A and B are shown apart, each in its own frame.
Chain A
Amino acid sequence: MRTSSFGYLVKEGARSLWVNRLMSAAAIGVLVACMILVGSAALFALNVSNIVSYFEDENEIVAFVADDITTQEELDALSLQLHTIENTADIVFVSNEEALQQQIEEYGEYGWLLEEYQGEENMLPHAYRIKVKDISLLEDTAQQIEALSGIQEVRIPTDVAHTLLSIRRIVSMCGVVVVAILLVVSLIIIANTIKITVFNRHREISIMKYVGATDGFIKLPFVVEGLLLGLISALLAYLVVWAGYLYVMDWASTVNSQWLQELYRYFVPFEAVYRELLIGFCAMGVGIGSIGSMIFVGKYLKV
């Protein structure tokens, strides 16, 4: 394509935005609102996921070693077996001595009661604290561990795992629904804008057809217009989300609530996501704008 034609196409797209500025403003308004909602949903999901993954890290399987395993060689072999299980991440060995020591500390001033069980009298089993990579496979992994002959019992935090998993599932499901609805709304807005522009420019379009402009050439200014609409909306929405996020973070850091302060430590700072967010917004705007107009310009133009 010649540069003069390219210039023409961009100029036409931009001109059309300006000529129909009232309608363009309305379309941008709705698109910005949609994108703010999508962006907020994404940031919310990101934070929930961050918090959930923190709690996931705290989750571990405790596997108690069978009493008949006593020598260091046997323990090493068992440890090796645990490492070969697919989903295991960190594996920490807790000897019965350490376990007893922990319990004595937990008992505090009554700890001395347990002191006589130290050494030969220690009835506690050795144990492994095992973190998993994928929390949704927690139960399978626990079963595999329990099946090992050197393991007598396994304890897993099933309830917590289930809760975390369902939080994550609900958040991502809501996210998908919100995004889908807003995507449809955005496309309708683009379709409507393009429809009105096609109507406003029907004279030029019919002349273009008579003088032998190609379909692509006739359609391109509309695609440029849609793309500009999407891009402008994306940048505006980004600024609003940015300001809004900083405001919420600021508020969360000062508010007087124990649990919020606790959670605040796991909030994702804006600096950590600003680039991805900007790229995401622009991609969404350009995508919705250009694809939307591409779909609908053919429908209304009938070139």
Chain B
Amino acid sequence: MIEFSNVTKRYDNGTRALENVSMTIERGEFVFIVGSSGAGKSTLIKLMLREEKPTSGIIHVNGFNLNKIKRRQIPKFRRTLGVVFQDFRLIPNMTAFDNVAFALRVTNVSLRDIRRRVPYVLGLVGLASKARTVPEKLSGGEQQRVALARALVNNPDLIIADEPTGNIDPELSYEIVELLHEINKKGTTIVMVTHEHELVSQFNHRVITIENGTVVSDVPPREDEEDGGYRL
């Protein structure tokens, strides 16, 4: 599903953000990516989304070779995955419904499908009753769930989340990750960046640690527990 082979990323100003990173994430996995500030986590995400190009090395995501992908194919590639960011990135003057529908409208989906899909995913994240509310009247956790609904609405195989709980109270953070966990159980691959170790330890998932631009550890979920299970 995601494959990095000897990937190095150097920004134009000379910063070495990633150094010779290799890793493979299989279909259906839930992976936490952790590491201290400036370690290169967001750079890794940007490379996965083809927002940045690697300086060297090869990247495959969802069957696309991101080194060779043509500009024209990028939208098609992005429709195969969903993205969630720390700052929610909702459109302020649109209701929750319209924010989710936006992702479908701009990708040429019919009105009938919009009316069918949007309420479904809002229900999935537990926000059916807030469909007509604008973001500023929603809590941080609710806003992030709208963003998650937007990421899910295209029915993607892969969800990529860069610190989705960074702006949310700890109790609500747990709910968000639990939601991701439920989505993962239905077969969607999840890659989630975070530096909240507390949160990571509450779930039994693979954890990749990055420091100074290199992978320093890659720990699979514990065998003794039910796959994808979590401890309290």
Contact = CB atoms under 8 A, between A and B. Distances in A.
Residue of A2, A203, A211 with most partner-chain B CB within 10 A: A211
Contact of B107 (A203, A204, A206, A212): A212
Contacts of A1: 108
Contacts of B103: 207, 211
B150 A211 contact: yes
Residue among A207, A212, A215 with max Cβ neighbours from chain B (10 Å): A212
Interface string B130-156: 000000000000000000001000100
Interface string A243-270: 0000000000000000000000000000
B91 A4 contact: no
A143 interface: no
B106 interface: yes
Given A210-B49, A210-B83, A2 B89 contact: no
Q: Chain A contact residues: over half helix, strand or loop, or mixed?
A: helix
A5 interface: yes
Contacts of A209: 78
Given A206-B89, A211-B103, A2 B108 contact: yes
Contacts of A215: 71-72, 75
Interface in B65-107: 71-72, 74-79, 83, 89, 91, 102-103, 105-107
B89 A207 contact: yes
B110 A212 contact: no
A211 B91 contact: no
Contacts of A207: 89, 91, 102-103
A56 B152 CA distance: 75
B27 to A, nearest CB: 20
A213 interface: yes
A180 B110 CA distance: 44
B102 to A, nearest CB: 7
B225 to A, nearest CB: 34
A8 B101 CA distance: 12
A177 to B, nearest CB: 40
Contacts, number: 55
Given A212-B76, A212-B77, A217 B89 contact: no
Interface in B26-80: 49, 71-72, 74-79
Contact of A217 (B76, B106, B110, B150): B106
Contact of B89 (A203, A212, A218): A203
By size class, the interface of chain B is 20 to 34
A296 to B, nearest CB: 19
Interface in A1-30: 1-2, 4-5, 8
A218 B102 CA distance: 12
B75 A214 contact: yes
A218 B106 CA distance: 8
Interface in A96-136: none
B167 to A, nearest CB: 16
Interface in A23-65: none
B109 to A, nearest CB: 8
Interface residues of A, number: 19
A277 interface: no
A211 B108 contact: no
Interface string A192-226: 00000000000110111111111101100000000
Contacts of B114: 4
Contact of B154 (A4, A204, A208, A211): A211
A2 to B, nearest CB: 6
Contacts of B77: 212
B111 interface: yes
Given A203-B89, A206-B89, A211 B49 contact: no
A42 B71 CA distance: 44
B106 A211 contact: yes
29 contacts: A2-B108, A2-B110, A4-B110, A5-B108, A8-B105, A203-B89, A203-B91, A204-B91, A206-B89, A207-B89, A207-B102, A207-B103, A208-B102, A210-B49, A210-B89, A211-B83, A211-B103, A211-B106, A211-B150, A212-B76, A212-B77, A212-B78, A212-B79, A213-B107, A214-B75, A215-B75, A217-B106, A217-B108, A218-B106
Query: Which 3 pairs of residues, A with B, have the shortest CB-CB distance?
Result: A212-B78, A212-B79, A213-B106
Interface of A: 1-2, 4-5, 8, 203-204, 206-215, 217-218
Interface of B: 49, 71-72, 74-79, 83, 89, 91, 102-103, 105-108, 110-111, 114, 150, 154
